[in-house]
Amino acid sequence: MSTKVEKMVEFKITRFNPDNRKSYISTFKVPIRKGTTILDSLLYIKDNLDETLTFRHSCRMGICGSCAVNINGQPMLACYTQVLQLNADSLTIEPIANLPVIKDLVVDIQPFFEQYKKTTNILIKPEQEFKKTDQFVQSPAELKKFWDLTLCIKCSICYSACPAAIDEKFLGPESLTANYRFVADSRDQGCPGRLKPMADNIWLCTQCNSCTLFCPKLVGCANAIVDDHSLLVEAGALPKTVIDVLERVYKYHNPMGTHQSKRMDWARDLTVKAYPAATKADVLFFVCCSDVYDLRNQEVARAMVQMFNKLGTDFATLGAEEWCCGDHMLRLGEKGLFEELAKHNIEMFKKFNSNKIVTLSPHCYNTFKNDKPYADEKLNVQHYTEYLADAVKQGRIKPVKSVKRKVAYHDPCFLGKRNEVYDAPRQVLQAIPGLQIVEMKRTRQSSFCCGGGAGRVWTEDAQPEKRPCVSRVKEALALGVDTIAVACPYCVTTLEDAVKVLDVENKIAVKDVLELLKESV
Ligand code: SF4
Ligand code: SF4
Ligand code: FES
């Protein structure tokens, strides 16, 4: 490590004294050289400034998994993280979440391992198979199916970042991934038994992607959980709540059903061009099945139509031929039905001549951009917040009326964590006069999921205190805001439910960014 001190960085460390059970914050200034890690800094503090500071570490090289802490709200390995790369003069260091704190930065990791022990993490096959000499022979292709999932170092970072893990019933990202790692292993024959421990709780996963985003070893937990879902779908081992979601989404798109008239209810009083009367427009507005069928979200769809009209945009919808993007189907493991929906929509995108697709929902947006077969089409797709942020920047839309609200913006996972769209919604809000905007404590990449993804918006059965949306509304209330701004139909539904559960309708409202913009133009 270089001897030259590049800068002094302030460390604000959350401490916990187990004797009086009190938390407090200690602040230290640490000299930072090229290559200084967070762990080096903590050791510097202990050696030179405060010998009572307590934290855990061992290998100092990203292998033992013991040194995870929250750095500026994000869980990371202290030994793996260089201070200069964080590009900050001040850092907050806290213990990781979802595990009880023992002292200062040391958490009790036992609950994480208790979940892990509920799955069988050795090969399962008949006794005589183990005696065969060729028992471990695998082709490179067979090895590739699970190899990346073996790189886990049991640091519990994914567990600490997981909104579903606030319900102790949930096995957690790593255990579910380890379970799939063995199912995907050609040497293993334990699949039916491996489905049992996860069958009743895996559906609590919202597919927020935090586990994958923060894993220091790039283990793709979120996708492995989708593969677990698929196994359960194939085995027909689905709880009724999940069957209801799958049926609900599919019945919307049954061409023999009664959905066609409903599809245009949201557009009543508005003149919206739709396929087949219209076969081309500059913008194809993809509305999202939630916005079509949910009365509350129809208001948001109408607000977007009004914005298009104000902007003079040449736009149209697919009308009855817009089928669900299939996001929920895919995340719940119903890959066959997802492909059926995707095939239809892609066919319609080809029939309809437009320059770009604008979606209301981050879920449609993410699926069109990132999930095959949509992704293969390289569709020109924008989320509505991106479309409107451009219009605001170009001066084509001018919010003028003052909107007197104190607002915290909640980043939807499928827009933020999955697509890094953090600024566009904020730019729209910042353009509205009168709005006082404050940031949530857990914001942008560290945002805390509303709990609505992967069909959970329609399957909520957890007790109120174990619902991510309730935790999120409490966080907003603590900030003293009167409005939570969102940019996703599922966030509207889940957070409004939480407001009702907490009986705080007179204190806080949930508004889509579009609704706030509409109040101002
Ligand atoms: S999957 Fe990644 S984040 Fe989770 S315990 Fe393993 S290494 Fe840590
Ligand atoms: S995708 Fe989100 S909810 Fe699902 S296991 Fe990962 S962190 Fe938890
Ligand atoms: S000290 Fe071992 S992973 Fe950081």
pLDDT of residue 152: 97
Of 309-323, 390-404, 506-520, which range is least confident? 309-323
Residue 233 pLDDT greater than 90, yes or no = yes
Number of Cβ within a 10 Å radius of residue 241:
14
Q: For ligand 1, atom 7, which residue shows the shortest CA distance?
A: 152
pLDDT of residue 131: 83
Predicted confidence (pLDDT) per residue in 30-51, tens digit? 999 999 999 999 999 999 999 9
From the DSSP assignment, how many helices (H) and strands (E) are in the chain? 20, 15
3-state secondary structure of 124: coil
DSSP type of residue 317:
B
pLDDT of residue 257: 45
Q: How far apart are CA 399 and CA 397, in angstroms?
A: 7
333: left (phi over 0), alpha (psi -120 to 50) or beta: left
**214 CA: nearest ligand 1 atom:** 3
Average pLDDT over residues 248-255: 64
pTM exceeds cut of 0.75: yes
Residue 132 pLDDT greater than 50, yes or no = yes
Predicted confidence (pLDDT) per residue in 136-192, tens digit? 788 999 999 999 999 999 999 999 999 999 999 999 999 999 999 999 999 999 998
Mean pLDDT value across the chain = 92
The dihedral over CA atoms of 339, 342, 346, 349, expressed in degrees to the nearest 10, equals 170
**155 CA: nearest ligand 1 atom:** 8
Q: What H or E segment, with its residue span, contains residue 210?
A: helix 210-214
C-beta of residue 346 within 8 angstroms of C-beta of residue 474: no
Predicted confidence (pLDDT) per residue in 437-458, tens digit? 999 999 999 999 998 888 888 7
**Which of 207, 228, 447, 490 to probe ligand 2 with, by most ligand atoms within 8 A of CB?**
207
**Which of 40, 57, 106, 154 to probe ligand 3 with, by most ligand atoms within 8 A of CB?**
57
pLDDT of residue 460: 65
Q: For ligand 2, atom 4, which residue shows the shortest CA distance?
A: 205
